[in-house]
Amino acid sequence: MADLRGGIDLGGTKIQTAIVDSGGEVLGQARRPTPTDGGPAGVAEQMAEALREAAGQAGVETAALEGVGVGSPGDADEKTGVVSGAKNLPDWDGSFPLAATLKEALGTEVRVGNDVQVATEAEFHLGAGREFESLIGVFWGTGVGGGLVLGGKPWLGRGAAGEIGHVVVKHGGAKCPCGRRGCMEAYAGRSAMEAEARRQHEDGAKTDLFKLMHKHEKPRLTSGIWERALDHGDDLAESLIDRAIEALGTGIASSVNLIDPEAVIIGGGLGVRFGERFMEPLTKEMGKHLFLDEEPPAVRVASLGDLGGAVGASLLFTR
Ligand SMILES: [Zn+2]
């Protein structure tokens, strides 16, 4: 069983784990909510539990795994295994030795990597990016994350590459959750879109977005709620999604001008739900800003779905 690896995708709301063989096949998987109390240690404990459950399904002891990779938000230091400033995780403003803690709990090697980067690598090796040598991954969800594969290899920069959500699309523009102004995420991130919808609704704009949210008992405007509102012809939802597409097209095209990749892979909760539906306006918007507009890169929707992050994390042991 030496060729089996574990992968853990650590998200703000859920922990997804998978046991993956050397061909990329998933032999076991488990998911549980990210605990909101107990801090980083409590989160690590649930991660270990969820991985044990997946390993049980695959019929393997965690100690027999070749290793376990973790895709983490915040600043995940691949060299030290320390995760810092993961602000969307409970009480995780400081640093926590995640790899060392999990190694102790699971009895096998643990590596950490950036969640979006590993999901991009999963699409590159096994998903929508398989036929390409270079690509930009754009994960359109709560925020807008990015990952890079150049010449067949992951590009991490000094550790913080791929922050496509903070490419500026409007100088002095809308306030971004990062505190700066005019970032792509300030227009396209799900949280920023929700804040703007709330603001306009309080100013009197008509919308069913919040009615739908309550009716379906969601704590926030999920991608499913946005889709329902669009299907009902909700004007505010339409205008905010159009604004998001415009920002995405602008920011992605600017990044393409710099990198010149063969492909752009669109993933994330909103990206997977809306990628095909808005492919035409998105590529049209990109076209306005592409320097080489006769030769645009391929734009594809991520194909690995919810498991992509965990599978990508397991690939940290194949790099
Ligand atoms: Zn920003």
Which of these, 42, 22, 23, 24, lies nearest to 32 by C-alpha position?
A: 42
Q: Among 26-30, 113-117, 156-160, where is mean pLDDT lowest?
A: 156-160
CA of 286 to the centre of ligand 1 (A): 20
DSSP secondary structure letter of residue 175: B
> Residues, the chain, total?
319
Q: How far is the CA of 181 from the centre of ligand 1 (A)?
A: 7
- Is the per-residue pLDDT at 2 higher than 70? no
The reported pLDDT for the residue numbered 89 is: 86
Distance 143 CA to ligand 1 centre (A): 9
Cα–Cα distances in angstroms (integers) from residue 250 to residues 177, 220, 259, 294, in the given order: 19, 27, 15, 17
Checking if the pLDDT of 1 tops 80, the result is no
Show the tokens assigned to 124.
């590159």
Q: How far is CA 74 from the centre of its chain?
A: 12
Cα of 287 to ligand 1 centre, how many Å?
23
For residue 195, report the distance from its CA to the centre of ligand 1, in Å: 15
Which whole number is the average pLDDT over 141-146? Answer: 94
Q: How far is the CA of 188 from the centre of ligand 1 (A)?
A: 11
Distance in Å, CA 292 to ligand 1 centroid: 27
What integer best gives the mean pLDDT of the chain? Answer: 95
pLDDT over 90 (residue 130): yes
Per-residue model confidence (pLDDT) at position 159: 86
- Taking the centre of ligand 1 as the mean of its atom positions, its distance from the CA of residue 186, in whole angstroms, is 6
- The residue assigned the tokens 């590159």 is 124
In the reported structure, the alpha carbon of residue 105 is separated from the centroid of ligand 1 by a whole-number distance in angstroms of: 36
Distance 175 CA to ligand 1 centre (A): 8
| pLDDT on residue 156 | 93
Q: Predicted confidence band at 305 (pLDDT cuts at 50, 70, 90)?
A: confident
Contact criterion met (CB below 8 Å) for 168 and 149: no
150: nearest Cα among 255, 20, 266: 255
- Residue predicted with more confidence, 4 or 88: 4
- In angstroms, what is the span from residue 63 Cα to ligand 1's centroid? 40
Cα 66 → chain centroid: 25
Alpha carbon of 239 to ligand 1 centroid (Å): 21
Q: What is the pLDDT of residue 237?
A: 98
How many angstroms does the Cα of residue 120 sit away from the middle of ligand 1?
20
User: pLDDT tens digits for 7-63?
Assistant: 999 998 899 999 999 988 999 999 999 998 889 999 999 999 999 999 999 999 999
Give me the pLDDT at residue 291, please.
96
Contact 47, 71 (CB under 8 A): no
- pLDDT higher than 90, residue 318: no
Calculate how far, in angstroms, residue 103's C-alpha sits from the geometric centre of ligand 1: 33
- Residue 241 Cα to ligand 1 middle (Å): 18
User: Model confidence at 88, in pLDDT bands (50, 70, 90)?
Assistant: confident
- Contact assessment for residue 184 and residue 192, using Cβ atoms and an 8 Å cutoff: no
Q: Does the structure show a pLDDT above 90 at 261?
A: yes
* Token output for 155: 């590009």
C-beta separation of 144 from 268 below 8 A: yes
Q: Which residue has the higher pLDDT, 53 or 85?
A: 53
Q: Which residues share a beta bridge with 144?
A: 140
The mean pLDDT value for 119-129 works out to 96
Q: How much distance in Å is there from the Cα of 158 to the middle of ligand 1?
A: 19
Distance 199 CA to ligand 1 centre (A): 19
Percent of the chain with pLDDT over 70: 99
Report pLDDT digits (tens) over 205-248. Answer: 999 999 999 999 999 999 999 999 999 999 999 999 999 999 99
- Cα(164) to centroid of ligand 1, in Å? 9
Pairing of strands 68-72, 26-33: unpaired
Between the CA of residue 272 and those of 7, 147, 149, 192, 308, what are the distances in Å?
21, 16, 20, 18, 12
Ligand 1 centroid – CA 184 distance (Å): 7
Residue 218 CA to ligand 1 center (angstroms) comes to 26
The pLDDT value recorded for residue 225 is 97
Distance 115 CA to ligand 1 centre (A): 18
pLDDT of residue 299 exceeding 60: yes
CA of 189 to the centre of ligand 1 (A): 10
Per-residue pLDDT band for 319 (boundaries 50, 70, 90) equals confident
